Amino acid sequence: MKKDIQIGYEHFKSINELNETEKKLFESAKQARKNAYAPYSNFLVGCSVLLENGDIYTGNNQENAAFPSGLCAERTALFWIGANFPNEKIKKIFIIGGPREDSENTPPIPPCGACRQSLMEYETKQNENIDVYFSSLNEEVYKVNSIKDLLPFYFDATFL
């Protein structure tokens, strides 16, 4: 029998529709994107992460000549936060991606599958949802209230 899964998301035509905290996260991610080390793909991704204590940390993609050795912006930030603030809950992550040139015409860039899986791990660990925003320099934004909306049929520790 065929069944449907419903996921929820919000779409904002511009960052002007976001609140002040969200705008701040957009700006932080945009700033972080500038420091991406992406000489091979020339695709720059930055992200900002809001913790429960109000602090914001950022990450960007870090590539390597041995291609698989690099890491996405989201996991660069998440693993650093996990390493340094293991007990601090993650409230929101804001992602901005696009090619080095001409990013103004790029649509919102969603997180890759591996980053969704990592985000799911932290959402499960803290037992509280994480808001995920993804955008680009064209300032259009998508938002989900939980990684579950990005990763139906997710694999987690309950299967181990």
Annotated binding-site members for Zn(2+): 72, 112, 115
Please name which of 70, 71, 26, 72 lies closest in space to residue 49, comparing C-alpha atoms. Answer: 26
Among 41, 103, 124, 126, indicate the residue that binds ligand THU (CB under 6 A): 41
- Within residues 47-106, the interface with ligand THU by CB under 6 A covers 61, 63, 70, 72-74
Which residues are paired to 49 by β-bridges? 57, 93
Among 15, 17, 43, 126, indicate the residue that binds ligand THU (CB under 6 A): 43
- Within residues 115-154, the interface with ligand THU by CB under 6 A covers 115
Q: CB–CB of 10/19 below 8 Å? A: no
Q: How far apart are CA 126 and CA 86, in angstroms?
A: 10
Least Å distance between CB 27 and ligand THU?
18
DSSP-derived secondary structure letter, 41: T
Active site residues: 74
Q: How far apart are CA 115 and CA 120, in angstroms?
A: 8
- For ligand THU, the binding residues (CB under 6 A) are 38, 41, 43, 45, 61, 63, 70, 72-74, 111-112, 115
